[in-house]
Chains A and B, each alone.
Chain A
């Protein structure tokens, strides 16, 4: 019972999770038509990335500007499987080599490359969706954290990695579909993904997996590891002096964030029906950070709200006021960073909770997570003192 309580993070957080669950699992499916619901499903796949970012950025202090890489790799793994299923010899018989994906045929590839071979198996694909990005994150993590590459440097290096991967994917178009990406995905093990009912089911699977990720995140944060992460973020040297291997913890949380992003990417490929390098690069990666920042970098649930809200805003404003959209997005971001560093969740903690408590004539509950607003800075100033 205690473990469960720990997992849920007390009564306050239980209510929070319930509210979100009701919103995603009941309110949206009942009020939105199939088209809009599918869009919310797409937003939810971004929420996976945002939840991962809360762990590694909000709590771990590791700002990765390359989460799109993991989202993309996860998505590509899934898309490769779906593409192979869509390119059976029957439906590709007009090609010069039937049975391989259409873009390979256009690039004079006459045999399925070895990299694609294992993706005939669904089991392998599910494994690869998580394993490949985690392995990638592990390598990046080992290389950068063990060498104690600083936080800012880490951000810039991850950004460069996002750029490299984009250029590679675009350049190797016989293998990856190039700029167009892997398109026209139809069925999953014979199940037509393009029908409304399939989209509905995928929506619920996405939501379920997302809650799974939130629970894992909660569990990590509630454990000793979570405390250590926060300690590291605030005073890395002291944690190191206390005998902890700081790099290993950082690598771990970075890998977890990568795995979450990859699941999001795979669900994205399933719901949207294609995968392209435009989700791998620098811009989408930074946008994903925005979701986490707007929702609240210290709140797993806030990140989900952030992803939903920013994306809804993007769709709404780009439909109604396309000219204004970038102003709003940029302005929102500046405002959030400057005035509400803890995002929506921070606002809720400072104002919403009290208002609600007043409404319910109860005493305001103590804050669940105490978030230092400017941890890094103070350390910096202290550190530079001779």
Chain B
């Protein structure tokens, strides 16, 4: 055999391969991902069944809507998005398992998913090891920053500090009663709140209580609140407990005419179960409310209702989930590639002027710059936006609050 031929064989193969790749439009750096000339596959990983299905349904719907809209407008880099949906079934090992399946078997370019901190913690090591990309929609406790996750919800300081400042200023609040469900998000949030109240606002925390998830009896707590007479009850009660908490507060005569209450955990979704009349006049701190008055949001609400029925409600997390696919699209287009490392590198600085919440920008630390808003609960289950902060820098590891 002639040496020349040996040398040229791999060369020929390479050039053939390259030609094939380019003619199909598959870029070499998308290797290892499910990207073809016409399609790119992404994953969706939420609980469609189990106890968390209550909360995660909205996120699933919003992500679907965003992906459909992106496809209708021509897709990303000329490719249509194909979704592989997996059910985490409200079970953390299942989340881990399905995350691995999406990344290893389906080779998805990005995953939109998770809701609870526990599910995110369960999949995080897998995303880091397999070098996947997760868009996580829920407002959460912070204390985390991963190369492989973009956090589209608010971290704790964004949600808490501005709202506490507002309530101290407008209500002259000096004494606070902190109440939460017993797990990491409320506890971390209350810790930050306490530091801020004591060190910055120079107020006092007159009580701090945590109840097990699913607790349904709040009578004793309500009496303690009545005894301590705090200026503000600051609440982060979640799930079924939420409903019991507000119904019993209202029944005990603790309503907005007598007590100021600010919550971190009630969105339009939760209000459906609680009933607006049980909470009317209380305040919630979120970055998004369905009633926000801007053209982006009008279009979003209209599209959402057109797809999911006129009675559909949109909460903070639903909107944050909607941002995920759009942020990913912007980053992919900026990077010119689906490659996770390139998309991650392109992400900081990405702006989204079409966001229903107004304007967001991805920070170096993978969280979003966003505004904090205070909504007042209306009896019809909606919020009236009464305060809007400036754009707040995300700070997942706040100095002086740990």
Residues of A within 8 A of B (CB): 33, 35, 38-39, 42, 94, 96, 103, 105-108, 167, 170-171, 173, 178-181, 183-184, 186, 194, 272-274, 276, 278, 315, 318-319, 322-323, 325-326
Contact = CB atoms under 8 A, between A and B. Distances in A.
Interface in B367-402: 397, 402
B125 A273 contact: yes
Given A106-B188, A184-B121, A323-B49, A42 B93 contact: yes
A178 B184 contact: yes
A179 B118 contact: yes
Interface stretch (B65-73, B97-105, B295-303): B97-105
Contacts of A186: 125
Given A39-B97, A274-B96, A278-B92, A167 B212 contact: yes
Interface stretch (B83-91, B224-232, B251-259, B346-354): B83-91
Contacts of A107: 187
Interface of chain A: mostly helix, strand, loop or mixed = helix
B396 to A, nearest CB: 11
B91 A278 contact: yes
Given A179-B183, A183-B124, 16 more contacts: A35-B100, A171-B182, A173-B184, A173-B187, A178-B184, A179-B184, A180-B118, A180-B184, A181-B118, A184-B121, A274-B125, A276-B122, A278-B91, A278-B118, A319-B86, A325-B89
Q: Output the residue of B92, B141, B143 with the most chain A CB within 10 A.
A: B92
Nearest to A182: B121
Q: Output the residue of B86, B105, B118 with the most chain A CB within 10 A.
A: B118
9 contacts: A96-B402, A103-B184, A108-B402, A171-B210, A184-B121, A184-B125, A274-B96, A274-B125, A322-B89
Nearest to B183: A179
A107 B402 CA distance: 8
Contacts of A326: 49
How many interface residues does chain B have, given as a range?
Answer: 35 or more
Contacts of A274: 92-93, 96, 121-122, 125
A108 B122 CA distance: 22
A173 B48 CA distance: 28
A171 B125 contact: no
Contacts of B397: 94
B105 A35 contact: yes
A314 to B, nearest CB: 8
Nearest to B88: A318
The 7 A-B residue pairs with the shortest CB-CB distance, nearest first, are A179-B183, A183-B121, A180-B118, A322-B87, A180-B121, A322-B49, A184-B125
A318 B96 CA distance: 14
B212 A183 contact: no
B49 A325 contact: yes
A297 B218 CA distance: 42
B125 A106 contact: no
B100 A183 contact: no
Nearest to B104: A35
Contacts of B125: 183-184, 186, 194, 273-274
A105 B92 CA distance: 23
A39 B184 CA distance: 28
Interface in B310-356: none
Nearest to B120: A180
B87 A319 contact: yes
B129 interface: yes
B94 interface: yes
A318 B182 contact: no
A326 B47 CA distance: 14
B213 interface: yes
A178 B210 CA distance: 13
A356 to B, nearest CB: 35
B38 interface: no
B117 interface: yes
Contacts of B93: 42, 272, 274
A384 to B, nearest CB: 38
Interface string B15-29: 000000000000000
Contacts of B49: 318, 322-323, 325-326
Interface in B6-36: none
Contacts of A315: 97
A108 B92 CA distance: 25
A106 B183 contact: no
Interface in B116-159: 116-118, 121-122, 124-125, 129, 141, 143
B92 A276 contact: yes
A322 B212 CA distance: 28
Contacts of A167: 182, 212
Nearest to B141: A106
A170 B212 contact: yes
A94 B191 CA distance: 20
Nearest to B51: A283
Contacts of B124: 183-184
Given A108-B402, A322-B48, A180 B117 contact: yes
Interface in B40-99: 48-49, 86-87, 89, 91-94, 96-97
A106 B141 CA distance: 10
A278 B183 CA distance: 13
A319 B101 CA distance: 11
Contact of A183 (B89, B122, B141, B183): B122
Contacts of B48: 322
A35 B102 CA distance: 11
Contact of B183 (A39, A94, A178, A323): A178
Contacts of A184: 121, 124-125
Q: Output the residue of A179, A323, A325 with the most chain B CB within 10 A.
A: A179
Nearest to B96: A272
Interface in B180-233: 182-184, 187-188, 191, 210, 212-213
Nearest to B184: A178
A179 B115 CA distance: 14
Contacts of A35: 100-101, 104-105
A103 B121 CA distance: 11
A33 B101 CA distance: 11
